[in-house]
Each structure stands twice: as structure tokens, then as C-alpha cells.
Amino acid sequence: MTSLTPMVAELVDYYDDGEAARHFQFRLLDQQQWPPPEPGQFFMLSVPGAGEIPLTFTQLPDQNQHWWALVRRMGSVTSALFRLEPGAILGARGPFGRGWPRPGSDQTPVLLIAGGCGLAPLVSQAERLLEMNLGPVALIYGARSPEARVLGRERDRWQHKLALFEVIEQSPGQTARRTPLDALPDVLAHWGHEPGATFMCGPEAMMTALSQRLIERGIPPSSIWLSLERRMHCATGTCGHCYLSHRYVCQSGPTFGWPELELLMQQPVTTQTPPLLSC
């Protein structure tokens, strides 16, 4: 049986980052343990009275079951979370879903692409890659504005370990919108590598366009991985909300290889295109 009742967790610490975004540290109470999560997996955070939302780990649980997550204040649950102080009792369930694959030595160099808060699910994958030291790693990070950038500490830390390319969509004095998609050719030329594996997370329209562009460049579709965001209420594949064709993102995702995702996204009625960078 898969319970929908969370374990007791505590809000340990937090710090602000970017516009309306905040890092939260949580820990499980009462000696409860989770199976060790993989980078790219997620957990369900309950703010009792407000509801439950899926969140990715920016730092995976340590042996004391402490972990970090980045949260953007957006709806009623995140707004309630932002009103809490350390010591608050919360609920947590997890880990859920399929994480990022562990790249093999034949899959270097590695390209990471993130839009806005989409950087969060890539943090622990980036850390793993740097630790594995397989080869060059590059990160293209797009944000709506300089103020909207998040995970500044991590980006600082990575500065000399990976090639970081920041793309600001709207910056003062700049007229044309510039997104990771626009920047891709320049970045790859500057970096001097073609990726052996690409991991990306950001608005779906951006990821779809990037994947197509990479494939046009001759990059194998099977080397491209994406992480999706969906409304979720159970994370056990029963509530139905995160459907993507005949799969549920909470179980078959949130990370998908491009060939699989491309099939799942085929449907006769397409929806309106969301803004390129909206996170």
C-alpha cells in the first residue's frame, strides 16, 4: 500500500534567494528515514492547512535526514510556507519519481541548461557530475532578469569547476529578448564542445525548442534529458493530475529522455504556447 499520509518534518532553516524565492532546509523527525533519493527525484511537502506540493531537492537528504529545497512563492501553499519560521512542523513524503540518469564516462562532456527556477532540479545532478569528474561540464542559465536569478551560492561555488553561461532575458539597455535558445550556438562555439549528454529543466516550450535545436546539430536524441513540472496531488500515480498521455509524470518522470517525451507529447490538440521563460 502507498500511503498518502506524510511523515512529520520540521522547517530547520531558510534564506532568501532571487525574487520571491527562498531556500528551505527541512528534516524528518521521529527517527524516520527515507530511502536515499537520486538527483532529480522529488518529494511532497505538506503545509498543514494549506495543502501539499511537489518540490525538488536542491540538496539531497544527508544521513541525518536534513535536506534543502528551493521554493518560489506562487500559490497558496508556497505563500503559507513563506509565512513559517524555523521549528514549524510540516509533513513530507518521498522520494518519488525517476531521477536523472547517472552519466557514463562515454557521455561527456555534459551540458546543463536551466531556465529560472528550473535550475533547482539540476543542482544535485551538477554536484554529482562535478564529484564524478568525468569531463567538462557547462551550464547555460537563463533568467527573466538579473534579479530573478536564483541559486547564487551554488553558481558562485561552481564558477571554476564548470563553464557557466548566463543569459538574461530582459536586462537594462538590451532590446531583444535573449533566451538559452538564442544563446545556444554562441555558447557551444565558445565552450568548444558538443555535449555527450544534456540535462535541462525550464519552461516546456523552451525545453522542446532546445531539444529540437540540439538534434538539428546532430546530437543524439537519446542523450537529451528533461525534467517536467506538473500539478500533483498524490505522487503515487492515482490522482490523475500530472498525466502526460498514458503516463503520470510523478511516476514515469519528472525526468524523461527526449525520445520518450517526444512520443508522450504528441497529441492531436496542442495547447497555447506558454511564455518562453516564466518560472
242 is an annotated ligand-binding site residue: yes
* Helix locations, 136-269, DSSP H: 152-158, 180-191, 204-216, 249-252, 258-265
Q: Which stretch binds other proteins (CB under 8 A): 34-42, 106-114, 131-139, 235-243?
A: 235-243
Q: Which stretch binds other proteins (CB under 8 A): 60-68, 76-84, 171-179, 190-198?
A: 76-84
Residues 174-203 that bind other proteins (CB under 8 A): 203
195 dihedral zone (left: phi>0; alpha: psi -120 to 50; beta): beta
Q: Rule CB under 8 A: is residue 84 a binding residue for other proteins?
A: no
Q: CA distances (Å), 209 to each of 8, 23, 74, 184, in order?
A: 41, 29, 25, 11
Complex with other proteins: residue 20 or 130, whichever CB lies closer: 20
Helix, coil or strand: residue 215: helix
CB atoms within 10 A of CB 222: 11
**Cα 277 from Cα 87, distance rounded (Å):** 34
41, 78, 211, 255: which one binds other proteins (CB under 8 A) = 78
H or E element, residue 128: helix 120-132
Q: 267: Cβ–Cβ under 8 A, 6 or more apart, which residues?
A: 245
208, 220, 233, 260: which one binds other proteins (CB under 8 A) = 233
Check if the beta carbon of residue 120 is closer than 8 Å to that of residue 23. no
Q: Which stretch binds other proteins (CB under 8 A): 60-68, 100-108, 159-167, 244-252?
A: 244-252
Binding mask 111-130 for other proteins (x = CB under 8 A): --------------------
Residues 87-106 that bind other proteins (CB under 8 A): 89, 91
**Cα 87 from Cα 13, distance rounded (Å):** 8
Closest distance to other proteins from the beta carbon of 274 (Å): 5
93 is an annotated ligand-binding site residue: no
Binding mask 46-75 for other proteins (x = CB under 8 A): x-xxxxxx--------------------xx
Q: Rule CB under 8 A: is residue 18 a binding residue for other proteins?
A: no
38, 127, 154, 204: which one binds other proteins (CB under 8 A) = 204
Check if the beta carbon of residue 183 is closer than 8 Å to that of residue 169. no
Closest distance to other proteins from the beta carbon of 212 (Å): 18
Q: What is the CA radius of gyration of the chain?
A: 18
Closest distance to other proteins from the beta carbon of 258 (Å): 17
CB atoms within 10 A of CB 60: 20
Check if the beta carbon of residue 199 is closer than 8 Å to that of residue 100. yes
72 is an annotated ligand-binding site residue: yes
Cell numbers standing for residue 272: 497555447
Q: Which residues would be at the binding site for other proteins (CB under 8 A)?
A: 1-8, 19-20, 46, 48-53, 74-78, 89, 91, 203-204, 229-231, 233-234, 236, 238-246, 266-272, 274-275, 278-279
Binding residues for [2Fe-2S] cluster: 234, 239, 242, 250
